[in-house]
Amino acid sequence: MQKLKIVETHYITHNVKRFVLEKPKDFEYTPGQSANISINIPGWEEQIRSFTFTSLQDWDYLEFIIKIYEEHNGVTSQLGKLKTGAELLLHSIDGTIKFKGPGIFIAGGTGITPFIAIFRALFSSGNLRNVALLYSNKSKDDIILHTELTEMLGPAYKNVFTREGVIGFRERRIDRKFLIETIGDFNARFYVCGPKMFTEEICEALVSLGSDPEYFVV
């Protein structure tokens, strides 16, 4: 177990917080991997949760982007209260979503986080080609790293809002109808990440449209 000191933290949306932490010497991980973390506060040391690295291996710090659920009075609520100088405890690293080649990425809310490091790694190496992103949120205020995603992906990045609440806005969901209208080739590789029901519904719709589950990365 390693102690990770917070060197910077701030909210990047109304309920999503960025954490920059000291990086241990010779620490290694790959884009898409997640860390099992708890808070170094009495009573919270054994409350372990998994969060995806959004930083890259060659950076000199670690970064996590975490949605804060203040109403739950749980781990993320406590994370929301932490300030610079506080410590997190790193218990282990898990392999999660790995980049297996060009494809279409479909994310719901904070399901974007495993994709961020993958996009950053591909972009920095000049290999972000034949990749598209469909990103669903309630409203534009919920988008995580919109400017950076636009810079990296350009027109291959498409937002879908389920609850924008402005005059003239047409609510959309990434459902079977939307997939038919938006995607031309269902023989592509698909990366899907988001809430459990979101992921299940998307994968089910893709299969019904002829996609091969062997090419799903979830």
Q: What is the pLDDT of residues 21-39, one digit of tens each?
A: 999 999 999 999 999 999 9
State whether 138 and 55 are in the same domain.
Answer: no
State whether 172 and 189 are in the same domain.
Answer: yes
* pLDDT tens figures, 48-85: 999 999 999 999 999 999 999 988 789 999 999 999 99
pLDDT tops 60 at residue 167: no
Three-state secondary structure along the chain?
Answer: CEEEEEEEEEECCCCEEEEEEECCCCCCCCCCCEEEEEECCCCCCCCCEEEEECCCCCCCEEEEEEECCHHHCCHHHHHHHCCCCCEEEEEEEECCCCCCCCEEEEEEHHHHHHHHHHHHHHHHCCCCCCEEEEEEECCHHHCCCHHHHHHHHHHHEEEEECCCCCCCCCCCCCCHHHHHHHCCCCCCCEEEECCHHHHHHHHHHHHHCCCCHHHEEC
Query: Percent of the chain having pLDDT more than 70?
Result: 97
State whether 116 and 196 are in the same domain.
Answer: yes
pLDDT at 73: 82
State whether 61 and 107 are in the same domain.
Answer: no
State whether 46 and 25 are in the same domain.
Answer: yes
pLDDT at 209: 95
Residue at a domain's end among 76, 94, 112: 94
pLDDT-derived band of residue 172, with 50, 70 and 90 as boundaries?
confident
CATH number at residue 158: 3.40.50.80
- Tell me the pTM: 0.91
CATH number at residue 55: 2.40.30.10
Over the chain, what is the mean pLDDT?
A: 92
* pLDDT tens figures, 145-160: 999 999 999 999 999 9
* pLDDT tens figures, 184-213: 889 999 999 999 999 999 999 999 999 999
Residue at a domain's end among 32, 67, 94: 94
State whether 8 and 78 are in the same domain.
Answer: yes
pLDDT tops 70 at residue 170: no
State whether 29 and 81 are in the same domain.
Answer: yes
| 37: containing domain | 2-94
State whether 172 and 123 are in the same domain.
Answer: yes
